[in-house]
Amino acid sequence: MGLRVQFLLAASLMFVASMLVLGAWIQGRIETDWRQSAIAATGRFLDDVLGDHVGELLSHPDPGSGEAARRLTAEIGGSLGKEFAAITVWNTQGNQVFSTRRHAMEQVLPEEVRTGVLAGETMVRPRGAAFHAEHSAVMRVYAPIFNPLTGAIVAIGGADQRSGEIDRLARAESMKTWPIVGAATVVMVAFLYLLVTNAAATIEQQQAALVRQAQRARRLGRRSAVLARLAEQARHDAMVAIEKTLARVGSDIHDGPIQRLAILALRLGESDAGRGLGADMQQVVAELRDITGGLALPELEGEDLEGAIKLAVVGHEKITGGKVALRLDPLPPQVRKSLKVSAFRIVQEALSNGFRHGGGADQAVHAQACEGYLVLTISDAGSGFPDPPPQADGASPCLASLASRVEAMRGDIFVARVEPHGARVQVLLPLGLRPARAAEAL
Residue 442 has pLDDT above 50, yes or no: no
| In the chain, domain spans | 3-175, 303-441
CB contact at 8 A, 344 and 298: yes
In DSSP terms, which residues pair with 177 in a beta bridge?
Answer: none
β pairing state of 96-99 and 84-91: antiparallel
pLDDT of res. 363: 92
pLDDT at residue 6 in the model: 75
User: How many angstroms separate the CA atoms of 87 and 49, rounded?
Assistant: 10
What mean pLDDT comes out for the span 186-191?
A: 81
- pLDDT (tens digit, 9 = 90+) per residue, 9-18? 777 788 788 8
pLDDT band (50, 70, 90) for residue 21? confident
Contacts of 331 (CB under 8 A, 6+ apart): 304, 305, 306, 367, 368, 369, 374
Residues 86-106: tens digit of each pLDDT: 888 888 898 888 888 767 788
- The answer, yes or no, to whether residue 368 has pLDDT greater than 60, is yes
Predicted pLDDT of residue 431: 86
The most confident of 120-124, 214-218, 333-337, 429-433, by mean pLDDT? 214-218
The CATH code for residues 303-441 is 3.30.565.10
Which amino acid does the sequence have at 369?
Answer: A
pLDDT surpasses 90 at 327: yes
| Per-residue pLDDT, 135 | 44
CATH among 3.40.50.2300, 1.10.10.10, 3.40.1180.10, 3.30.450.20 for 3-175: 3.30.450.20
pLDDT at position 198 = 82
Predicted local confidence at residue 358, as pLDDT: 79
Pairing of β 373-380 and β 423-430: antiparallel
pLDDT tens sequence across 34-87: 778 878 888 888 887 777 777 777 776 565 556 667 777 776 766 555 667 788
Q: What is the percent of the chain where pLDDT is above 90?
A: 12
pLDDT, mean of residues 320-326: 90
Residue 292 pLDDT grade (very low, low, confident, very high; cuts 50, 70, 90): low
Least confident of 100-109, 276-285, 366-375, 387-396: 387-396
In 3D space, the residue among 84, 103, 96 whose CA is nearest the CA of residue 42 turns out to be 84
Burial grade of 194 (CB within 10 A; 0-12, 13-18, 19 or more): exposed
The pLDDT of residue 421 is above 70: yes
- The per-residue pLDDT for 439 is 41
In this prediction the pTM is 0.43
pLDDT at 136: 47
Check residue 306 and give its pLDDT: 92
Write down the pLDDT at residue 165.
64
The pLDDT > 70 percentage for the chain reads: 70
Closest CA to 313 of 281, 350, 258, 272: 350
Q: Is the pLDDT of residue 401 over 90?
A: no
**Residue 423 in this model has a pLDDT that exceeds 50:** yes
Strands 325-328 and 423-430: unpaired
The pLDDT value recorded for residue 440 is 42
pLDDT category at 132 given cuts 50, 70, 90 is very low
Q: What is the pLDDT of residue 425?
A: 92
pLDDT over threshold 60, residue 168: yes
Q: Which of 313, 422, 429 is nearest to 365 (CA)?
A: 313
Whether residue 155 contacts residue 72, with contact meaning beta carbons closer than 8 Å, is answered with no
User: Is pLDDT larger for residue 240 or for residue 417?
Assistant: 417
